[in-house]
């Protein structure tokens, strides 16, 4: 269903460019007047954070920072800027905390699966500086070499496929787990390197050694996950299901979109098999989410 469009929000051309933001804005504009008042802002923060109350002066600070034209309310464009910049978190928490209002709006929350944007926006939320830095470093080390060979848009498709697969895979395998971080996309990049090596084996130098390096990384990660969960019986905060799902998506989508320097007959069959398998897995996860709500935690 198309989002409601109001004369008080922003011009039609701008709204059309950001339909998902408009849906989020509409959710918190309780009186449907095209703007978010101080009371609506407070309710928005309380509904998306883990706190039961927030000081009035803090809400006023957030309003003051977000209300760029100082007219006493937040319009659509101001709202979009506020969320993107994570101003809520910085003002209310003094840091971009995972418990801050903006972070809890973006994180994958199993109790709010109906808010579809969470299946992708969780990649913007990280649990602390170390988590963020590690993901950034890995993305730089793995993403740039891929971009140099295959182009940025192919790498972007692989990355986003991994992010979506990470949240959908987690929702099916661990239905009560919250999810934050870009690990689904990061593991998609790792698997995309494997796809690239396999597709261009004859054209690459030291292909066997590169493949062995990635194989060792995968074995260590999977081994650690199995040992932690099934031997030590510890509840880890690491989303291993997202890692695995992201890697599978990166491999399958990588085979489809990455450059193949010399296409062989058997590779065409692998291409079709990978696209069919990826589509089937994603559809199965989406249908499972939609058709079996009793399997998941109740919405709130």
Which positions are annotated as active-site residues?
183, 243
> Rounded to the nearest 5°, which phi and psi values hold at 54?
-145, 135
CA dihedral sign, ordered 105, 108, 114, 120: positive
Tokens standing for 13?
């051309």
3-state secondary structure the chain: CCCCCCCCCCCHHHHHHCHHHHHHHHHHCCCCCCCECHHHHHHHHHHHCCCCCCCHHHHHHHHHHHCCCCCCCECHHHHHHHHHCCHHHHHHHCCCCCCCHHHHHHCECHHHCCCCCHHHHHHHCCCCHHHHHHHHHHHHHHHHHHHHHHCHHHHHHHHHHHHHHHHHHHHHHCCCCCECCCHHHHHHHHHHHHHHHHHCCCCCCCHHHHHHHHHHHHHHHHHHHHHHHHHCCCCCCCCHHHHHHHHHHHHHHHHHHCCCCCCCHHHHHHHHHHHHHHHHHHHHHHHHHHHCHHHCCCCC
If you compute the radius of gyration of the chain from its CA atoms, what whole number of angstroms results? 22
Taking the C-alpha atoms of residue 28 and residue 40, their distance in angstroms, rounded to an integer, is 7
Tokens standing for 126?
């990280």
Our CA angle for 163, 169, 171, nearest 5°, is 105
């Amino acid at each position: 269903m198309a989002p409601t469009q109001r004369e008080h929000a922003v011009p039609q051309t701008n709204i059309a460019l950001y339909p998902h933001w408009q849906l989020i804005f509409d959710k918190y504009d309780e009186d449907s007047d095209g703007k978010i008042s101080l009371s609506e802002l407070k309710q928005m923060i309380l509904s998306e954070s883990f706190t039961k109350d927030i000081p009035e002066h803090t809400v006023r600070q957030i309003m003051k920072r977000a209300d760029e034209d100082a007219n006493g309310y937040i319009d659509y464009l101001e709202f979009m800027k506020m969320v993107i910049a994570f101003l809520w978190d910085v003002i209310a928490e003094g840091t971009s905390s995972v418990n801050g209002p903006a972070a809890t709006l973006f994180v994958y929350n199993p109790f709010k699966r109906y808010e579809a944007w969470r299946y992708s926006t969780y990649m913007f939320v990280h649990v602390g500086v170390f988590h963020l830095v590690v993901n950034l470093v890995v993305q730089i080390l793995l993403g740039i070499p891929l971009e140099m060979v295959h182009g940025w848009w192919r790498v972007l498709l692989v990355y986003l496929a991994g992010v979506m697969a990470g949240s959908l895979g987690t929702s099916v395998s661990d239905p009560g787990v919250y999810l934050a971080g870009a690990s689904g996309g990061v593991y998609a990049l790792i698997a995309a390197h494997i796809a690239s090596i396999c597709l261009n084996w004859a054209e690459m130098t030291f292909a066997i050694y590169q493949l062995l390096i990635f194989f060792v990384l995968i074995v260590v990660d999977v081994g650690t996950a199995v040992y932690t969960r099934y031997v030590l019986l510890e509840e880890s905060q690491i989303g291993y299901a997202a890692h695995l799902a992201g890697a599978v998506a990166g491999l399958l989508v990588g085979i489809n979109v990455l450059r193949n320097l010399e296409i062989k007959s058997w590779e065409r069959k692998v291409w079709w098999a990978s696209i069919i398998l990826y589509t089937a897995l994603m559809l199965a996860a989406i249908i499972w989410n939609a058709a079996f709500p009793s399997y998941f935690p109740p919405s709130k």
